[in-house]
Amino acid sequence: MQHHAENAVPMEACGLIAGKGGLVQAVLSVTNITQDPKTFLMEPRQQLKAFEWIESRGMELVGIYHSHPAGPETLSPTDVGEAAYPVVQVILSREGDQWQTRGFWIETGQVFEVRIKVAH
């Protein structure tokens, strides 16, 4: 995810996180088709293919990620309003040369930070 985020700067990177039981087994990058560095919209065909790939391997969607290369390190009001799946929303934000990764759960419009463990 961090590699994808770094390569997308100044635009936001985005993608899907697949796994089982809350454990990540695959990260699928999807092209951001916006030309706005503060928003993202997944390319529909790639997103559909990613969902099909996840399902064909007996996995489930456990998260959606996107980057905020210029901040903030939390979900924006747009992120909260446009969240369409009940999964962890992962935000990668950059501070200097370092990327931070944080997870959030949205429930009835409220945002709760969740602990995530990132392994390289």
Point out the catalytic residue in the list 12, 52, 73, 95: 12
DSSP 96: T
Q: Which of 94, 90, 118, 117 is nearest to 104 (CA)?
A: 90
Does residue 12 have an active-site annotation? yes
Active site residues: 12
